[in-house]
Structure 1
């Protein structure tokens, strides 16, 4: 965008003095457009120096510079039209950004309220019952010993050792999840997220934490884990999966309306990149949740 506008400015300086006087309003619009576009770029790419939004309109074929004294109204008209198109594109882009930010703020506010209510329920003392487990929601209650001769469900799970601690930690947590040892899997996966937040497996681990909670019959904790993955690692490889499973967890919590909003967020944010299978899964989930 900056290169395009700079080129337009150079073309203007090559015109006659009379043309320079007549294009003063256009030059002012170009300066204003440059300033606004830089502001949008800073919003879209915070900290991303050098990243530019390429114009969606291509400049027309170069117009021969007319001799001094020859009316240049055609060149000014062409440039004015191109600048007007850029202004319209900028306005559309800015409006879309504002809509996305508003929708995300709404989702964050709703989920913050839901998370606060869930934390309050978890913090409340359990009803007196001899079968009630002691400890928090992550404490694994020991199972009764199995009869002799029965394969042990708690058989040792091999820990990989590839030299990549983040990869090994995730694979170990995955194996524990596969073995249905959900409490241990959550502990192992949380360590991966805490110790290696910049590793690509952090997104995988945080998503699998939610899966472990969901499979363990804890949709409230699962929904928090899935939302945290989307919030902390929006560019992670498992962020779309977490939004999908967040919808599933909300359905289990009888919050179908909220699930529909999550499915809409998934489609809006990742619709162009998710697989055809996930698109089909989301479509089926929306029907099951009776989304409008």
Structure 2
């Protein structure tokens, strides 16, 4: 069969098919159009436009819903019925800059305090220089430490009892404690007629007396510094002056107790016992009343009076059980091991 005849036969067959099956011809025509290849340039442009549209939609979605994933929306009404506004991102509480500024402020405050302390120390040194000049002027005429036997002994002798109480075991014990002051009086040792040596005088002058708004507290603190440096006679003079001039000061219990220690540490237990007993009797609820009672027992041990030492230790354990097992537990147990109170 020739090509012309083939074409003719093919067209005739198609015509006959269309006449026999009109609907099938429409379908075939549509399939031919659908399967006809599209030019490559038009297809590429459509793909690029589609991708650009999708990218723009994603960008718009990120701008409108910054915290979402494109599938969910944040609720406008919470479970408790309260409306919620748009989510806000809280700023950090501190940053590196604010931390640096805070540290700079702290350093400035410390510098201010150091400056104030420097000015106070300068003023104190000036006052100390004036005092040293006055002491040097009097060094050759009178001893630095005046005897205080009359004032201290008179005050100690005035307290020979605790008061009228019922005849109980506690009253009997306190009477025994009061009887401790009935021993022979120990006189305060006065310095030699020539006064302190130049070396000692120079060492004492190095002890700075504080200068604050509380003059009475300055007097006590200066006595404490002298005692702490081992200048016991000078400390006794300073503390005796403080106790006499400021009997109502809030540190008076510290002053009397420390005065007793200045005697005890200097090998004068009898006079120390007078001051310890006086401080204990003055106010048994004071901060240094337990200390004075325990040092009273220690003074009795130093004097070899075991019976009265045991009385003081028993009184201490009964009156201050919390202190006996707490702050002064070591000293209490040490004193109890030094004496035999069971016989």
TM-score w.r.t. length of structure 1: 0.54
Which residue among 293, 296, 313 is the counterpart of 1:243?
293
The unaligned stretches of length 5 or more in structure 2 are: 1-164
Is the partner of 2:267 in helix, strand or coil? coil
Match of 1:139 in 2: 190
Contact 1:200 1:237 in 2 (8 A): no
Tell me which residue corresponds to 1:202.
Answer: 252
**Superposition deviation, residue 277 in structure 1:** 4.0
1:109 and 2:175 aligned: yes
- Residue 31 (structure 2) aligns with: none
**Cα distance change, pair 114–266 in 1 and its aligned pair in 2 (3 A):** closer
Cα distance change of structure 1 residues 151 and 192 upon mapping to structure 2, 3 Å threshold: closer
Q: How many residues in Structure 1 have an aligned counterpart in Structure 2? A: 178
1:268 maps to 318
Give the structure with higher Rg (CA). 2
Q: Are the aligned partners of 2:300 and 2:309 in contact in 1 as well (CA < 8 Å)?
A: yes
C-alpha contact 2:316 2:324 (8 A) present in aligned 1: no
TM normalised by structure 2 equals: 0.47
Q: Please give the alpha-carbon distance, in whole angstroms, between the structure 2 residues aligned to 1:100 and 1:207.
A: 28
RMSD of aligned C-alpha atoms?
2.9
- Cα pair 2:324 2:332 within 8 Å, conserved: no
Question: Deviation at 1:274?
Answer: 5.2
| Whole-angstrom CA distance in 2 between matches of 1:145 and 1:181 | 13
- Inter-partner Cα distance in structure 1 for 2:219 and 2:318: 32
Q: Pick one of 112, 118, 121 that aligns with 2:184.
A: 118
1:155-174 correspondence runs (5 A): 155-174=205-224
Cα distance in 2, alignment partners of residues 291 and 100 from structure 1:
25
1:146 Cα offset (Å): 6.6
Any idea what the Cα deviations from partners look like across 1:177-229, whole Å, max 9, x if unmatched?
A: 12222122112112222222232210001000011001111000011111111
Q: Which residue of 1 aligns with 2:228?
A: 178
Contact 2:176-2:311 within 8 A present in 1 as well: no
- Uncovered stretches (5+) of structure 1, i.e. residues with no partner: 1-98, 123-135
* Conserved? CA contact 2:224–2:258, under 8 Å: yes
Greater RCO structure (CA 8 Å; 6+ sep):
2
